[in-house]
């Protein structure tokens, strides 16, 4: 059996609560509430995909997606 897909969930704290209810236990979730936490997770964890909202860290979603291009170009991303 293959391992679970590891998702970087870059949302507000309340958004994370909802995402966790919807996505666990099917996915291995890595939580980030700030751009610094998210970039560290990309640098130090094998992330398969990113779930991010426009409300992430005072609208820093695009900064995170730019970082993803540089750090983890093979990582999928979904922004809402």
What local confidence, expressed as pLDDT, does residue 32 receive?
96
The residue extents of the domains of the chain are 6-79
Distance CA 3, CA 40 (A): 22
Residues 67 and 39: beta-carbon distance below 8 Å? yes
Question: Domain 6-79 is classified in which CATH homologous superfamily?
Answer: Response regulator (3.40.50.2300)
The per-residue pLDDT for 79 is: 64
Q: What is the pLDDT of residue 1?
A: 40
> pLDDT tens digits, the chain, 80 residues: what are they?
468 899 999 999 999 999 999 999 999 999 999 999 999 999 998 899 899 989 999 999 889 988 877 677 777 776 66
Q: What is the pTM of this model?
A: 0.84
**Bond prior to 36 in cis (omega within 30° of 0):** no
């Amino acid at each position: 059996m293959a391992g679970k897909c590891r998702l970087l969930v870059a949302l507000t704290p309340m958004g994370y609560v909802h995402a966790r209810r919807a996505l666990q236990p099917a996915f291995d979730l890595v939580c980030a509430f700030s751009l610094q936490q998210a970039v560290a997770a990309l640098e130090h964890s094998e992330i398969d995909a990113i779930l991010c909202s426009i409300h992430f860290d005072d609208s820093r979603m695009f900064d995170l997606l730019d970082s993803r291009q540089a750090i983890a170009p093979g990582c999928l991303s979904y922004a809402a």
